Structure 1
Amino acid sequence: MKNNNLSDQSIESLIKQRNLLKGVAIGFGIVLLLSFSVILYVAVQKKNFGLIAVLPASMITLLPILIRFGQINTEIKSRQIN
């Protein structure tokens, strides 16, 4: 299993992870926006407004990526200050 402790990793490794997570978050966000628009369109056309409840619930899927991104940014900033 990989070591997930941020303090043991080099600054280059952290920057590489940050850039990767940023790309993943942007790509996943675009896919979510497209799926939101399709679900919203289908819900309005079929008059099935229960589908709209899926939209806020699916935002939770971005949460782990954003939490890890914040942790990496905090670690990078703390090392650059020192």
Structure 2
Amino acid sequence: MKKGIPITELSVQELYKKKQSLQGVLIGLGLVLLAASVIIFYLAFSSKMPKVLVIVPICCSLTFLPAFISLSQINTEIKNRDSKQ
């Protein structure tokens, strides 16, 4: 498996580009998950579907955790480099 370049070796422009793309992915996937969650909640409570399905959107939201951690690390690296200048 190909290993990525550590964020400490990226230039500031590359960090900003990576930050923008990661934010775009998080917003896009977040909106899709939000729409799917609304549909699942509606179907679970309006029909005779099992209420256990309500757990699915909650668990799926945990898949965003690594992306948010990565975004936090990028923001910290950008902040550290800006304070050095």
Structure 1 and Structure 2 fold alike (TM over 0.5): yes
1:41 Cα offset (Å): 1.0
1:28 Cα offset (Å): 0.8
Of residues 52, 55, 58, the one that matches 2:54 is 52
TM-score, normalised with respect to structure 2: 0.89
CA offset digits 1:43-79 (Å, max 9, x no partner): 1122321111112111111111111100100000000
1:14 partner letter: L
Q: For 1:27 and 1:68, how far apart are their aligned partners in 2?
A: 17
Partner of 2:34: 33
1:2 Cα offset (Å): 4.5
Of residues 69, 74, 77, the one that matches 1:75 is 77
Q: For 2:51 and 2:37, how far apart are their aligned partners in 1?
A: 13
1:3 Cα offset (Å): 3.2
Runs of 4+ in 1 over 3 A off after TM superposition: none
Identity %: 38
1:22 partner letter: Q
Structure 2 runs not aligned, ≥5 long: none
The root-mean-square deviation of aligned C-alpha atoms, in Å, is: 1.1
Partner of 2:44: 43
TM-score, normalised with respect to structure 1: 0.92
